[in-house]
Amino acid sequence: MKSKKLNEAFQYVDDNFLDIAELERCRRRRKQKSVWHYGSIVAACICLMLIVPIGVVAADWFGLRSLLLPGISSEVSQDEESGNVDSEGQGSVSGLDTQVGEEAFVAAPSTDMIGLAGYIDSPEAQALNEWQTFLAGYDTDGAIIEQIGNNPTNLDSRYDLYYVYTQEMADKLDEIVTKYNLKLHTEMNVVSQEELDYRVGGDFLQEEMNRAWAYIYEDGTFQFDGNITLDSCGYVDYQFRRTVKGTFDEVVLNIGHAVNYQEFQYVTACGEPVMLALGPNKALIFCDFEECFIALNILGGSENGLTEEDLKKMADAVDFVVLKDVIVPDMRGDSVP
């Protein structure tokens, strides 16, 4: 049998590779040992994990409100003494409204927008907020883009992956990117599920989460759509996005009103803490890592029968361990026509 010969060839594997196999095993064991050695610290951490979420949700540290883009969200006023929230969005005027004037304020829907690049104190989110604020006040009557029509913009190709159609916009984008020390995306490929797994370094999604093709950028940022069938509410669509830090990303998400969401902190099956946010018509699962921000936008909510348990199930279906450490993808072109 031919495979036996190949097996025999393993007999000649260099000692260095055998050592690597041994050392990697030992390294893992040392890690495990040290964890158990410091059992009391682990116990203390578990206690903290039980206590902290109450505080986290109460103060909304790292919750949905920490993702809001103040420049383009309807302001949700909060009475600091009572903690009551004005869900009608008639509180103080947001930065965007101040800039674009009363007419835009009236015309704008009173909804909240979040960034998918990280919490608002991150350079990525601040850059996004500034860019979206600029966009909201630029070419408000659409006259410029109407004039351009289908004609080429003659802008440098490095702006191709952004919503930029004038030199003024390009200059503003450059200014923001420089200010926050970020890069621009340079390349995007459309890839199959298997190709995406290869490029991100492994299979990260359980089979019950159906998914379509994805698009992936040169830094490892990617997005795809999918669906799942849940016992409680049946078929639900979702969007999955990983945004890698260090590159400017202009994607925003309309979430209705943040105040209408119930939020929970949850530690997934793979051991990573995530935030779950369940709204009436939409739900979110998101988590912030050192190298990336991951968000699942679920197109269904409590009014559709979606429950906290469903969100936990979906969160458990994702292997965040594979995704949190970003590897530079092999940009070998599109893999789907």
Which residues between 304 and 323 bind another protein (CB under 8 A)?
A: 319, 321-322
CA dihedral 22, 23, 27, 33 (to 10 degrees): 50
Contacts of 164 (CB under 8 A, 6+ apart): 153, 155, 170, 173
Binding string to another protein for residues 209 to 248, with x set by CB under 8 A, is what? ----------------------------------------
Q: Are strands 262-267 and 252-256 parallel, antiparallel or unpaired?
A: unpaired
d(CA 309, CA 264): 11
**Shortest Cβ 35–another protein spacing (Å):** 11
**Shortest Cβ 193–another protein spacing (Å):** 12
Q: Is 33 in the site for another protein (CB under 8 A)?
A: no
The residue within the footprint of another protein, chosen from 60, 203, 308, 316 (CB under 8 A), is: 203
Half-sphere exposure of 327 (CA within 13 A, CB side): 13
Q: Is 24 in the site for another protein (CB under 8 A)?
A: yes
Which two tokens mark 303? Answer: 């009014």
In the chain, the largest separation of any two C-alpha atoms, in whole Å, equals 80
The window from 10-18, 104-112, 293-301, 309-317 that contacts another protein (CB under 8 A) reads 10-18
The window from 153-161, 197-205, 221-229, 282-290 that contacts another protein (CB under 8 A) reads 197-205
Which two tokens mark 27? Answer: 């390294």
Q: What are phi and psi of 56, to 5 degrees?
A: -60, -50
Q: What are phi and psi of 7, to 5 degrees?
A: -60, -40
Q: Is 31 in the site for another protein (CB under 8 A)?
A: yes
d(CA 179, CA 215): 28
The window from 7-15, 51-59, 83-91, 247-255 that contacts another protein (CB under 8 A) reads 7-15
Closer to another protein by CB, 240 or 261: give it: 240
Please report, as ranges, the residues that interact with another protein according to CB under 8 A.
1-15, 17-21, 23-25, 28-29, 31, 197-198, 202-203, 270, 319, 321-322
